[in-house]
Structure 1
Amino acid sequence: MLKIYEEPVIEEVYDEITTEKEVRLFIKREDKIHPYISGNKWRKLKYNLEYARQQNFSTLLTFGGAYSNHIYATAAAAKEYGFKSIGIIRGEEHLPLNPTLSFASQQGMHLHYMDRSTYRRKHDTEVIGPLTEKYGRFYLLPEGGTNLLAIKGASEIVNEEVRQFDYVCTPVGTGGTIAGIISGMNGRGRVMGFSALKGDFLKHDVQKLLQLYEKHPLTNWDIKTSYHFGGYAKVSPVLFGFIDEIYKKHQIPLDPIYTGKMMFGIYDMIRSGEFAPKTKILTIHTGGLQGVEGMRR
């Protein structure tokens, strides 16, 4: 159902530090897959949209924050494929709308604001029930888009070319993308996630997702939790400086919430000598560029 606008290619990133440490660094440009539904969001929505259509749902409902890539992508996907969409937005309305929510609204998404204490209970029937009464029957996409169908889609990031790398690196938010990549690698190489938020609980979350999705344990993975810059959506001038430098040198745009933190971590590990000479490292560009300017303000 979802259309690929540009097949994601693997590009080598040549840099002084990779030459000095004798490692090779590559990036898979999943961000180019679709102009609005980019990277892992395209992968995670693909089978969910197919299932929603098969089950005759006409409305998608999902959750997210004010700068959510998932809200942005879901709104675009719903419009493109003929679904109505409802976005449950954490917190109060602020006008004028920021670029993320303005775009979602322009795509036809109805924005429903929910106070933070209620939002924290978004999985409870006492919260979902009134939404069903208000909006009727809808297909519920979880916050961040992670479920078993999303993992299936994310596993397709991996192909035989990807399996040739020693390390495959990805940002981690809700865990669905890395779970899909781990599944797709099927024991080959080593998968390394870079947490966008504070806390070691993500490792447990990913383990649970893998137990639900896979019939056999896969242990060739890890999540680095020291490059979150203070937590989810926390940024710094150092991080923005690094992102700007990467764009200037390599024309690769990164975002400060996910891909920028991952790439910063990889460069730090290369600099520290944590990768042996001749190691081939692949990074996955998961998109998420839509909120960059809003984050700089």
Structure 2
Amino acid sequence: MSFIQPIILSTAFQQSSNHQYTLDIYRGDLEYPNAPGNKWHKLRHHLKAAEQQNASVIATFGGPFSNHLHAFGATLRHLPFKAVAIVRGELQSQLTPTLRDMADDGVELWPSTRSDYRRGIESEIVGKINQRYGSVYWIPEGGGGALGAKGCHDWANDISAMDDKYDAWVVSSGTGTTAAGLLSNIHAPDLHVFSALKGEPAQRGLILDLANQLTAESILSAELGVKLFFHSDCHEGGFAKQSPALNAFMREFADVNPNHPLDPIYTSKSMFAVFKAMKEGSWPYRRTLFIHTGGLQGWRGYSNHTNPFACS
């Protein structure tokens, strides 16, 4: 089975567009079952660093439905580290499906107030965990930072090796770590990044800064801004929110692409934005690769009837 597979454009779409587009999907969600999509790639160098520092405890941050936390727990279950996670918001008596999986994987969950959580590594709860365990290796929220981006830089090599003839790549963005890693790779073509966050146009600069840290070639570094196209207006109402238009698109997409499920927070919104641009004839590329970053477990935070891929 190839990780690169074709996307079928609906009949209505083809009739409305005068352009001949080829849209393929890189099924990153089929990689590494414990940490699908971009999750393993963001974790791998952090895990090496923890081992090099002789850390016995690895800790990280995330929300109660976090894809990163879920992958963190499933991965650490098979490694000789104690896993600790700070969860945004007070833990409830009935854990979310994500947190139940983490507890089953042996992760120690620490609830955090939202105000303290926003302080990140400077938070009071981080101090308590460090005091309790001593040597703790901390992975940023979402598997971020330079090491997380480095893993995605390496991932770009794998993707390009399968087919290096695309005019553009498309990727969803939360922290921007994956986008920075892909962008920093010399093999990446034009990169369109669609943010799932509302009110984050400044993230483009953060992605560029992080990408620049990963490349020592001055010529390539100067070109990064030229091949980065950042979209901050495809959030469909805000993070984890779904508009009626997005829901209608997902149903239509699932009808013609039942074997290519999208997640509700990231990839569905990016795909919707690309389809709209293609339908309008404003998408400037003939051959595009959409990189699936995983996150399908996130559907468990929604009612079953809202998931068009569950019964497609």
**TM-score, normalised with respect to structure 2:** 0.87
In 2, the alpha carbon distance for the partners of 1:248 and 1:177 equals 29
Paired AA for residue 26 in structure 1: D
Is the Cα contact below 8 Å between 2:237 and 2:243 reproduced in 1?
no
Paired AA for residue 11 in structure 1: Q
Is the Cα contact below 8 Å between 1:37 and 1:73 reproduced in 2?
yes
Question: Are positions 1:190 and 2:184 aligned together?
Answer: no
In 2, the alpha carbon distance for the partners of 1:246 and 1:83 equals 41
Paired AA for residue 248 in structure 2: G
Paired AA for residue 164 in structure 1: K
Determine helix, strand or coil for the equivalent of 1:191: strand
Determine helix, strand or coil for the equivalent of 1:86: strand
- Using the TM superposition, name which of 97-106 and 229-238 deviates more: 229-238
Is the Cα contact below 8 Å between 1:28 and 1:285 reproduced in 2?
yes
Paired AA for residue 111 in structure 1: L
Alignment correspondent of 2:251: 244
Paired AA for residue 281 in structure 1: T
- Gap regions ≥5 residues in structure 2: 305-312
Describe how 1:40-51 pairs up with structure 2 within 5 A. 40-51=38-49
- Give the superposition deviation at 1:189: 2.4
Question: Alpha-carbon deviations, 1:163-207, whole Å to 9, x = none?
Answer: 3210100001111101111112x2752100000001202112112
Alignment correspondent of 2:211: 210
Count of matched residue pairs: 289
Q: Give the counterpart of 1:115 among 91, 113, 123.
A: 113
Determine helix, strand or coil for the equivalent of 1:163: coil
In 2, the alpha carbon distance for the partners of 1:171 and 1:188 equals 15
Describe how 1:88-167 pairs up with structure 2 within 5 A. 88-124=86-122, 126-158=124-156, 159-167=160-168
Alignment correspondent of 1:10: 4
In 2, the alpha carbon distance for the partners of 1:259 and 1:162 equals 21
Question: Are positions 1:226 and 2:226 aligned together?
Answer: no
In 2, the alpha carbon distance for the partners of 1:188 and 1:293 equals 33
Question: Are positions 1:272 and 2:280 aligned together?
Answer: yes
Question: Alpha-carbon deviations, 1:222-251, whole Å to 9, x = none?
Answer: 111111012222223432332233223112
Paired AA for residue 233 in structure 2: S
Paired AA for residue 48 in structure 1: H
**TM-score, normalised with respect to structure 1:** 0.91
* Shift in alpha-carbon separation, 1:18–1:131, aligned structure 2, 3 A: farther
In 2, the alpha carbon distance for the partners of 1:195 and 1:240 equals 18
Alignment correspondent of 1:261: 269
- Give the superposition deviation at 1:125: 6.5
Determine helix, strand or coil for the equivalent of 1:22: coil
Is the Cα contact below 8 Å between 1:171 and 1:258 reproduced in 2?
yes
- Gap regions ≥5 residues in structure 1: 1-6
Paired AA for residue 191 in structure 1: L
In 1, the alpha carbon distance for the partners of 2:35 and 2:204 equals 27
Is the Cα contact below 8 Å between 2:62 and 2:87 reproduced in 1?
yes
Question: Are positions 1:287 and 2:294 aligned together?
Answer: yes
* Shift in alpha-carbon separation, 1:189–1:18, aligned structure 2, 3 A: farther
Is the Cα contact below 8 Å between 1:90 and 1:113 reproduced in 2?
yes
- Using the TM superposition, name which of 75-84 and 213-222 deviates more: 213-222
In 2, the alpha carbon distance for the partners of 1:172 and 1:119 equals 21
Paired AA for residue 197 in structure 2: L
- Give the superposition deviation at 1:124: 1.6
In 2, the alpha carbon distance for the partners of 1:79 and 1:236 equals 37
Root mean square deviation, CA, Å: 1.9
In 2, the alpha carbon distance for the partners of 1:295 and 1:146 equals 26
Is the Cα contact below 8 Å between 1:197 and 1:230 reproduced in 2?
no
Paired AA for residue 207 in structure 1: L
- Give the superposition deviation at 1:34: 2.0
Is the Cα contact below 8 Å between 1:69 and 1:288 reproduced in 2?
yes
Is the Cα contact below 8 Å between 1:99 and 1:291 reproduced in 2?
no
In 2, the alpha carbon distance for the partners of 1:143 and 1:273 equals 37
- Give the superposition deviation at 1:162: 4.4
- Using the TM superposition, name which of 142-151 and 237-246 deviates more: 237-246
